[in-house]
């Protein structure tokens, strides 16, 4: 901030002190801000990442601990899921759901890498890239369902 | 509330267009020991100016003079009247009343401490702005000539110098909501980039070293809420991405 770090730290903490003393409310934020395209895509990137990690760890853990199997059996993943869930159609839905989540996270990750290089950062390009993302996910899912 | 002005708009189509709207405004008074509440005021569109600020001023003049808000230029250049209107941050003097919605909900800037009604406390914001040293540090000794800048170099500053420091972008960034004490926020980072990219400034390296910090710059996760809500159509997200690129290039 300035030349004297001790004085600056005192000034900074003075503002925080003022906030604790005066009992002022914080203006509402999360519940009142209308969901924007930008913030929705960002929070779903984080949520899809969490879902993918939890899916991966839970499936690996159940295979190793519950079934005591080797990982060479991972090649037959949908059949393992159907053994777990005891019905074929539910396993397909779970597989489809996790495939959607994985596709969303990967494509949005590519978009994040494009952003880090500095491209496609204006608002018009934001709308375009978001719609291309949704279109890509839906088209890959459509092709997958066609080939089933 | 029904005000007959000489310049009141007369509808020539004859259809009963619904001119009445309701303004729901967040209120809080520090002297009353109570929680914040909503006040609802009816306004007639055709007896009021076109912007939300005109409606607020009319409410203050004729209905409830305890309504408190900041305002100055009424044309979107001072940045005083920044508030959250119908869920997005904007300047009240630039946000039109002529929408199809019946209710217009007004909150102060999100996740800022409220002094009274719609007035947020900007002291943290201004301290963060001061911390980036928003002034020119040139290596010219006392000279009798102007410090010239080429047109190409001046073009680099377009889209950066127009910032009016209204804090709409910083108050829209969820990362700034959760880390407002350490993270500088998109408004301040846009101004930091304005000084980094100025060709006359000679302390670029120290500015970049100051920003190369886990909390000050890298709390930005490219959520891009800032560029979406800027009332002057600036792009803080792009500037922050450019700062990160310049730091990684060094």
Q: Which residue of A has its CA nearest to B235?
A: A122
Pick the residue of B222, B225, B239, B241 with the most A CBs within 10 A to test the interface with A by mutation. B222
* Spatial distance between the Cα atoms of A88 and A80, rounded to a whole number of angstroms: 10
CA angle A58, A61, A64 (to 5 degrees): 150
Q: Which pLDDT value is given to residue B17?
A: 65
Q: Which pLDDT value is given to residue B141?
A: 76
Q: Which pLDDT value is given to residue B11?
A: 60
Q: Which pLDDT value is given to residue A79?
A: 66
Euclidean distance between the first and the last CA atom of chain B, given in angstroms as a whole number = 63
- Stretches in chain A below the pLDDT threshold 50: 1
The pLDDT tens digits for B179-197 are: 999 999 999 999 999 999 9
Q: Which pLDDT value is given to residue B145?
A: 82
Token output for B35: 């929680």
* Spatial distance between the Cα atoms of B88 and A122, rounded to a whole number of angstroms: 18
* Range of lowest pLDDT (B128-142, B169-183, B214-228): B128-142
% of chain B at pLDDT higher than 70? 93
pTM: 0.86
Q: Which pLDDT value is given to residue B29?
A: 94
Q: If contacts are CB pairs under 8 Å, which of residues 112-141 in chain A contact chain B?
A: 112, 115-118, 121-123, 126
Task: Tell me the average pLDDT across B64-77.
Answer: 95
Question: Is A30's CB within 8 Å of B174's CB?
Answer: yes
Question: Is A32's CB within 8 Å of B87's CB?
Answer: yes
Residues of chain B neighbouring A38 (CB-CB closer than 8 A): 223-225, 227-228
Q: Which pLDDT value is given to residue A1?
A: 46
ipTM of the complex: 0.85
List CB contacts of A41: < 8 A, sequence separation 6 or more: A108, A130, A133
The pLDDT tens digits for B150-179 are: 999 999 999 999 999 999 999 999 999 999
């Amino acid at each position: 901030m300035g030349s004297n770090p001790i004085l600056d730290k005192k000034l900074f903490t003075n503002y925080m002190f003022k906030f604790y003393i005066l009992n002022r409310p914080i203006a509402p934020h999360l519940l009142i801000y209308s969901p924007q395209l930008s913030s929705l895509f960002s929070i779903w990137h984080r949520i899809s990442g969490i879902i993918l990690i939890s899916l991966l760890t839970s499936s690996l853990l159940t295979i190793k601990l519950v079934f005591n199997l080797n990982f060479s059996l991972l090649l037959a993943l949908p059949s393992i899921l159907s053994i777990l869930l005891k019905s074929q159609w539910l396993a397909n839905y779970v597989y489809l759901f996790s495939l959607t989540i994985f596709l969303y996270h990967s494509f949005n990750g590519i978009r994040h890498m494009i952003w880090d290089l500095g491209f496609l950062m204006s608002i018009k390009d934001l709308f375009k890239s978001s719609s291309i993302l949704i279109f890509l996910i839906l088209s890959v899912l459509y092709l997958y369902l066609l080939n089933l | 509330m029904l005000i007959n002005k000489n310049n009141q708009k007369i509808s020539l189509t004859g259809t009963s267009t619904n001119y009445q709207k309701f303004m729901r405004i967040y209120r809080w008074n520090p002297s009353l020991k109570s929680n914040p509440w909503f006040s609802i005021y009816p306004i007639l569109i055709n007896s009021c100016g076109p912007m939300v600020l005109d409606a607020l001023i009319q409410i203050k003049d004729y209905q409830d003079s305890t309504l408190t808000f900041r305002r100055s230029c009424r044309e979107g250049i001072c940045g005083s009247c920044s508030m959250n209107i119908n869920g997005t941050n904007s300047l009240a003097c630039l946000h039109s009343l002529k929408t199809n919605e019946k209710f217009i909900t007004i909150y102060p800037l999100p996740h800022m401490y409220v002094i009274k009604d719609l007035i947020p406390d900007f002291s943290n914001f201004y301290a963060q702005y001061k911390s980036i040293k928003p002034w020119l540090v040139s290596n010219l000794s006392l000279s009798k000539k102007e410090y010239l800048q080429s047109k190409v170099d001046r073009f680099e500053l377009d889209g950066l110098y127009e910032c009016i420091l209204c804090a709409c972008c910083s108050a829209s960034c969820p990362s700034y909501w959760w880390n407002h004490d350490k993270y500088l926020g998109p408004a301040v980072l846009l101004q930091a980039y304005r000084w980094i990219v100025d060709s006359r400034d000679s302390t670029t390296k120290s500015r970049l070293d100051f920003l190369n910090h886990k909390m000050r710059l890298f709390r930005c996760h490219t959520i891009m809420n800032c560029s979406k809500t800027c009332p002057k159509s600036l792009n803080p997200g792009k500037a922050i991405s450019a700062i990160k690129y310049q730091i990684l290039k060094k």
